[in-house]
Structure 1
Amino acid sequence: MKKKILIAGPIGDFGGRELEVNIIANALKSDFDVSVLSTGYMTGHSFALKNLNSIKWESVPKKIISKNFLLFFLSFFTKIVNRGKLKNYAYLKNSISKKLFDLDKLYQNEIEKQIKESDLVLLCVQLTSKFLPEIVSFCERRNIPCLVRTTGTIREVSILDLSFLKKVSMFIHHSEKNAYNLNKQINLPYIIIDQCALNEDKFLASEIKLNKDLRFGYLGRLTSEKGILPTAEFFSKTNLPFVIAGDGNQKKELLEIIADKSNCKFMGSLINENLNLFFNEIDVLVIPSYEESGPLVGLEAMAAGKIIISTKVGAMEERLNKLHCFWFQIEDLSTLELAIRQVLSLNESERLMISKHNRERYLDYYSIASITEKYLESLNKIKSF
């Protein structure tokens, strides 16, 4: 009988954490009985479950209202009053329910019931995620190995507040940078496992070829931490082809910046299966983020065989060979101009060499097969599992 692994955390329907859960579940599903538990609102349409039809999942608030008619009614009533469009359990934490019930206790009890049925728990969380201390401590009491896959950038943390982390069996970080940010304060066991491109077959199927006049591009959320507005402002003042794909709360401002700019093209939001259409449009990916733990788009660009210009964000310094990278600071756009000049100064054979090298590096270290092997190896290191 296969051992049971519970992947848990504040998993929603779409975002970086959901992509992470999907990668992990895919890596483990053949060797283990994998299930997914969201401590928040999640539906069966979550990207965490994409192409994982055989994997069981549960949402804690969904489970809670299924067992308590009054909470179900109050959630339904709140949805009607507020003309909500989400499922009933999205409205569990309404003002009346909070007064009548100890919701945190109900959540914790339901989480513990799910953990009891598992042989190992793998948490996809930030270090400040709700219920993390309680889950880790409960796993220790039940002698159930607990792994923590950190999401987001790790910042200064208080050892006094987070001393419970010593009870974690193993930490899994995207990069040595994130591991260092935590371990310089408290010594904890960890391994490094990065992400992989979910639709790598499409990226790898694309022939590596570059246009004579290089085309630059940005793919990601249109939000402030991503640095898209200053980047768009920069390209809008050049004649360099610049392709943008994504969605977010800065979309309106972005469109105003590139309005009437013939060199700028906006592709809108693309579903994951169509990201190759974006990469077919560009030769050079620009990653202008102020903050990232990955980003995943960097690996997608490597798989697609693209040159990358990036801020020194997240895991990018570890992903790219030092001889084939072009760095800049989003706070100083003159450094972006310099990086672009460096790329433009390359001859055709040099550009192709870097593009091919990025794909080869992806295949060697970040492919689905490679990431799967690393997760399986990490579980073999857990003595009580």
Structure 2
Amino acid sequence: MKKKILFIGPIGDFGGRELETGFMAKSLSKDFDVEILSTGNLTLISQIFDFVPTEIVQTLNECIYKNSFRFRILSYLSRIKSNQKKDKYSFVSNTLAKRLGYRDFALNQLRIKINNFDIIILCMQLTSNYLKEIVEYSHGLQKPTVLRTSTTIKESDITEKDWLKEITLFIHHSESNAKKLEFIENYNYTLIDQCTFKEEEMLQIKSVETFKNLLYVGRISEEKGIVDFVELFNKLETDLTLKIVGDGEQMKELRVKSESNKNIELLGFLNQDEIVKQFQDTHAIIIPSYEESGPFVGLEAMASARLIISTKVGAMPERLKGLKNQFWFNVSDSNSLIKVLGDIKKLSNQQIKNIAEENRLRYLDNYQMDKIESQYKNAIFKL
């Protein structure tokens, strides 16, 4: 009989966490019975369904809606009052519900779920809601818990968190993130990075040989730094063009800052097939993030043999260590960006091609999909 794995995390519709959780679940579903419980809200367009069927995915609010008449009524009333076209489960965690014990009931639903599984895999940040309670409850039942950390671990994230020692295994993208938790007693971790999920298509893209445009792919939010980058880009005297793929809470602000620059094009959200087409037409990927664990787009750039211009964030310094692609900049320092762009402009076509192909070779050596899948399987089997 197969062991049962429950994935828990704030899974939504779009983003690296959705893609990675889906890939992990798909990789392990061949050897385990897998289910996914999202502590956030998602819809049928979520990218997680690129990997797994809808029947193994459920949201915490859906559980609460189905198992509590009181919260079901409150959800119904909240939906009428808001007059918004969202699914009925999105209204379960309304203001009145939170006053009337929503969190306690939610924790009880989590415990009921956990009781039915052998291994709990948490795709979360250290500050994610319910993480502490899930870890402590699972530990009390002697169920192995695995935390796949996401985003940059900050000093403020690890204060007063003695319960972290109850996590069986940490999975990190980078050694730099892993080292921040070395204070944990009996600290057990492994490093597993990401891969591109359009690997075959990315690897078939002809390597770049020139430098005339930039592409950003990611969430339009504060930690991604894209709004601040556009401010820098607006100040440059350059013929470079910039395409921006993504959506998020800072989209309105981004439109305002971009509208006067004819060299910037906002493309909004694109699916994975459409993103591959954008990679075919671009020369360099820009990563202006302040906080990341990956980022995912960095490996897409490597697989597609593109130049990478990045802040020293997440796993990027480790991914590019020893390569000629050392185009680092600081979002708050325009001179650092000017220098990097100037350095690339001085390169010959052959030099650009060599750097791009070296990036692809690093991807092939370390990050191919079957290698990452095997690493996940090995880590879980060892539990």
TM-score (norm 1): 0.91
State the alpha-carbon separation in 1 of the partners of residues 266 and 129 from structure 2: 38
Cα shift at 1:335:
1.1
**Within-5 A mapping of 1:140-179:** 140-157=139-156, 161-179=160-178
Shift of residue 121 of structure 1?
0.7
Identity %: 39
C-alpha deviation, 1:180, in angstroms: 1.4
Unaligned runs of 5+ in 1: none
Quick check: 2:126–2:157 contact (8 Å CA) kept in 1?
no
2:11–2:18 contact (8 Å) kept in structure 1 = yes
Please tell me whether residue 223 in structure 1 is matched to residue 221 in structure 2. Answer: yes
The answer as to whether partners of 1:216 and 1:243 remain within 8 angstroms in 2 is: yes
User: Counterparts of 1:224 and 1:39 in 2: how far apart (Å)?
Assistant: 22
Counterpart residue type for residue 224 of structure 1: E
For the Cα contact (< 8 Å) 1:159–1:185, is it kept in 2?
no
Report the equivalent of 1:343: 344
1:72–1:230 distance in 2 versus 1, CA, 3 Å: closer
Moved more, 176-185 or 352-361: 176-185
Alpha-carbon separation, structure 2, partners of 1:119 and 1:333: 51
Map 1:302-321 to 2 at 5 A: 302-321=302-321
Partner of 2:180: 181
Aligned to 1:269: 269
Matched, 1:69 2:69: yes
Cα distance in 2 for residues equivalent to 1:160 and 1:217: 37
Question: Do the aligned residues in 2 keep the contact of 1:222 with 1:228 (CA within 8 Å)?
Answer: yes
Task: Count the aligned residue pairs.
Answer: 380
- The within-5 A match list for 1:25-104 is 25-53=25-53, 56-100=56-100, 102-104=101-103
The corresponding residue for 1:232 is 230
The residue type equivalent to 2:83 in the other structure is R
Q: Deviations over 1:93-119 (max 9, x none)?
A: 33443444x322221221112112111
5+ residue gaps in structure 2? none
Range 261-270 or range 340-349, more displaced: 261-270
Which letter does structure 2 place at the counterpart of 1:9? G
Measure how far apart 1:366 and its partner are: 1.6
Give distance in 2, aligned partners of 1:314 and 1:69.
44
Deviation of the 1:85 alpha carbon: 1.9
* TM-score of the two chains, using structure 2 as the length reference: 0.91
1:112 maps to which residue?
Answer: 111
1:20, distance to aligned residue in structure 2 (A) = 2.3
Cα deviation for residue 179 of structure 1 reads 1.0
Across the aligned residues of Structure 1 and Structure 2, the Cα RMSD in angstroms comes to: 2.3
Work out the CA distance in 2 between the residues paired with 1:270 and 1:376: 30
- Point out the more displaced range, 216-225 or 104-113: 216-225
Which is worse superposed, 146-155 or 23-32?
A: 23-32
Equivalent position SS for 1:207: coil
Write out per-residue CA displacement over residues 163-193 of structure 1, whole angstroms, 9 at most, x where no aligned residue. 1111111001111111112225666211111
C-alpha separation in 1, matches of 2:216 and 2:158: 38
SS of the equivalent of 2:112 reads helix
Counterparts of 1:209 and 1:359, CA distance in 2: 11
